[in-house]
Amino acid sequence: MDGIKTVAVVGLGYIGLPTAAILASQDVNVIGVDVNEKTVDAVSRGEVPFVEPDLETYLAGAIAQGQLRATTQMPPADAYVIAVPTPFSSGHEPDLSHIYAAADSIATQLTGGELIILESTSPPGATEKMAERVLGQRPDLDQSNQREVLHFAHCPERVLPGRVMIELATNDRIVGGIGEQAALKAKALYETFCDGEILLTDARTAEMAKLVENSYRDVNIAFANELSIISEKLDIDVWELIELANHHPRVNILQPGPGVGGHCIAVDPWFIVAADPDGAQLIRKSREVNDAKPAWVIDNVVSKAERFKEPVIAALGLSFKPDIDDLRASPAVNIVSELVERLPEASVLAVEPHIDHLPTTLQRQSNLELLDQTQAFERADIVVLLVDHTAFKSIDSRTLADKIVIDTKGIWR
């Protein structure tokens, strides 16, 4: 594979760790790098610090066979895959500090000829900026007018949490090189484990493609969320409405919910807005529509709670989407947090089968408990369904008969 024997995967999170594990399952020597010692220790023991089907099997095999090791120190390697977070600042501007920190650390190890791939979701131009930064620190390796001495590429990840190990192997992959040689080298690396088509382009287009995919989904969820608000006013069942409209051969409306969460779809569209604030009208508005949905749910619950002196509210689900334990940027967490603030006389009973303790953001609230479904249903006056976990779908409708039900995902219709 084009002289690539050792790959350092920088950032052992939800994307970096699965990528490191799948690369190690091929004939590649992989070094996982993370600034967090606890993560490195867990990975070294073959433990996955989060829930992702099949990942533990891959990881345990790779560690046992000596194909993968983890460290906090940036090593020399033939290729680097950077998968660090790219959050946005309070003003919705992309924060590239983790990418720059990784690039600075990589720059110290380079000898020439290495491939440096940025996988982190990034605003257009980020890979070029990263390359400039590395070359700025290593002018000895900057021979841009002659041949490519270092190779830079952007290869956005597009895997769905919960299906990561399958989608890493089967999804088509966009590879954007700074120069054709970089793109071809990166393609050869991904071909070791990816059976999907590998599509070559330049780095800027690859960056934008990733942002566009998630914005497409965000805009379409915003459409569904707007329909749910309009339908409520018009006394129409939005779930039936969408199901009927989707029978049209060219209509495919997504599902409304309590808001859009996670670290991708609720973040990436802002990178396009930041890149062209005047042009990105629809993309910005969709973000605003989706971000406003939790407040709409909260107002609904608060108005239903008014008839009780000391309402007991069961909140079903805390994760940002079904059947995972990931609570980051979850609209359900925000809704529960706001409900306990706004209704101090209420008891809020959170039910989340995928966790065994409340996140720190919720722990201090005295009128909030984490309970199992049966205990919560025994006490609840109001049941608000926030996540369509499979476990909730089989709830017997008779247990809901004497409760006020607010079903934000339409699973009990």
Single out the residue of 260, 273, 283, 305 in contact with ligand SAJ (rule: CB under 6 A): 260
Kindly give, in sequence order, each residue whose CB lies less than 8 Å from that of residue 345, ignoring residues fewer than 6 positions away: 309, 310, 311
Catalytic residue, from 155, 185, 264, 409: name it: 264
Which of 199, 189, 196, 200 shows the shortest CA–CA distance to 26?
Answer: 189
Report the residue closest to ligand SAJ, judged by CB: 264
Q: Does the annotation mark 194 as catalytic?
A: no
Q: Where are the alpha helices (DSSP H) in 118-267?
A: 126-137, 164-170, 180-190, 203-234, 238-245
State how far the alpha carbon of 20 is from the alpha carbons of 55, 177, 229, 329, 341, in Å.
Answer: 10, 21, 43, 25, 42
78 φψ region: left (φ > 0), alpha (ψ -120 to 50), beta (else): alpha
Q: Is 323 in the site for ligand SAJ (CB under 6 A)?
A: no
Ranges within 107-146 binding ligand SAJ (CB under 6 A): 121
Alpha carbons within 13 angstroms on the beta-carbon side of residue 45 total 8
Q: Is 371 in the site for ligand SAJ (CB under 6 A)?
A: no
Instruction: Output the smallest distance, CB 100 to ligand SAJ, in A.
Output: 21
Q: How many residues bind ligand SAJ (CB under 6 A)?
A: 20
Q: Is 255 in the site for ligand SAJ (CB under 6 A)?
A: yes
Stretch that binds ligand SAJ, among 58-66, 92-100, 151-159, 393-401 (CB under 6 A): 151-159
Q: Where are the alpha helices (DSSP H) in 69-202?
A: 97-107, 126-137, 164-170, 180-190
Which of 14, 48, 30, 50 shows the shortest CA–CA distance to 193?
Answer: 30
Site string for ligand SAJ, 202-241 (x = CB under 6 A): -----------xx--x---x--------------------
Kindly give, in sequence order, each residue whose CB lies less than 8 Å from that of residue 239, ignoring residues fewer than 6 positions away: 410, 413
Angle at 24 between CA 22 and CA 27, to 5 degrees: 115
Instruction: Output the smallest distance, CB 86 to ligand SAJ, in A.
Output: 11
Single out the residue of 8, 96, 159, 316 in contact with ligand SAJ (rule: CB under 6 A): 159
Q: Is 269 in the site for ligand SAJ (CB under 6 A)?
A: no
Instruction: Output the smallest distance, CB 44 to ligand SAJ, in A.
Output: 25
Instruction: Output the smallest distance, CB 163 to ligand SAJ, in A.
Output: 9
Interacting residue ranges for ligand SAJ, rule: CB under 6 A: 121, 157-161, 213-214, 217, 221, 254-255, 257, 260-262, 264-265, 320-321
- Residues with catalytic function: 210, 264
